[in-house]
Amino acid sequence: MQGSARRRPFPAAAPGSPPPAGTLFPGRHGAVKGEDTFKTSPFHLDLWFYFTLQNWVLDFGRPIAMIILPLEWFPLNKPSAGDYFHMAYNVITPFLLLKLIERSPKTLPRSMIYVSIIMFVMGASIHLVGDSVNHRLIFSGYQHHLSVRENPIIKNLKPETLIDSFELLYYYDEYLGHSMWYIPFFLILFIYFTGCFTPVAEESRMPVAALLLVGPSSLYYWYLVTEGQIFILYIFTFFAMMALVMHQKRKGLVLDSNGLFLFYSFIITLLLIAGWVAWLWNDKILRKKYPGVIYIPEPWAFYTLHMNNLHAAKESF
């Protein structure tokens, strides 16, 4: 047609030649950039620092804040300070996980990431409600090292169907909430880990900042695994990471600084768990609460059993 420019056709690529840089080619999980296959990224100091800090303050610190702060500020029929910490955690953690995925040098399956984030928020929110009530029961004499039915303040409730309601609350807190919270959490970390490989051996080293953060990060994962009772989920994730490292090594790929940080954090976590179990191996009371093959006591069960008794003995003097 007159007045219209005729388009020049793109030259056909030679058979077996790679696609032009920047073009998209169909992958198993969607479009993937051809140029990002072996791209590496520097250590994400800001994200890992914020991630570790908010884990310690908002997750580990929430029951401590609930116990320390006066009841007059947060009555038992209102949310505690720890509940507000948990609410902040439920918002900040998914945001940091998404930012971590965005910085991955590899294009990752976005649909799986989004579904995992949604499940994570649902599970953490379910846990918020159940954990809030369970921790507030401490002020009424509830003992975490005992089962629900064995607790002195629970076993004499009338009608007995109320005990079933408390067991349902415990189920939502410790089983359903933890599963919907931690499974997508570890899945997202593993998906991110799959993109932390590089063919450049010089990039497989941890900076000083990563070495300083790996200790607090590992200690938090120890708390997460022991208190959440998710050792099986953790160990399967760790084994999957090890298998992936060995598989990629055969291809000449090694972990970059971010992958090394995550991998070493999991290794140190396993050592901390082994030390924790060995220390409490002969505790008969905790053995009664955790009678299964995998014996990993919760830190808060240890606190209510031993530390509370120690505080009471000091107050009696």
Q: What whole-number distance in Å separates Cα of residue 242 and Cα of residue 229? A: 22
Tokens representing 125? 């929110």
Q: State the sign of the Cα–Cα–Cα–Cα dihedral 110, 116, 122, 127.
A: negative
User: Mean pLDDT in the chain?
Assistant: 83
Q: Taking each helix axis from N to C terminus, what angle separates 257-279 and 177-193, rounded to the nearest 10 degrees?
A: 140
Q: What whole-number distance in Å separates Cα of residue 19 and Cα of residue 27? A: 13
Q: What whole-number distance in Å separates Cα of residue 47 and Cα of residue 45? A: 6
pLDDT digits (tens, 9 = 90+) for 132-170: 888 788 777 887 777 888 888 888 888 888 888 888 988
pLDDT digits (tens, 9 = 90+) for 47-105: 999 999 999 999 999 888 888 888 889 888 888 898 999 999 999 999 999 999 999 88
Question: Residues 259, 197: contact at Cβ < 8 Å?
Answer: yes
- Please classify residue 1 by burial: count the beta carbons closer than 10 Å to its beta carbon, then call 0-12 exposed, 13-18 middle and 19+ buried: exposed
Dihedral-angle region of residue 3 (phi above 0 means left; psi in -120 to 50 means alpha; beta otherwise)? left
- Residue 127 CA from chain centroid, whole number: 14
List, in order, residues 6 or more apart from 275 with CB less than 8 Å away: none
> Given this model, what pLDDT does residue 106 score?
84
pLDDT digits (tens, 9 = 90+) for 217-229: 999 999 999 998 9
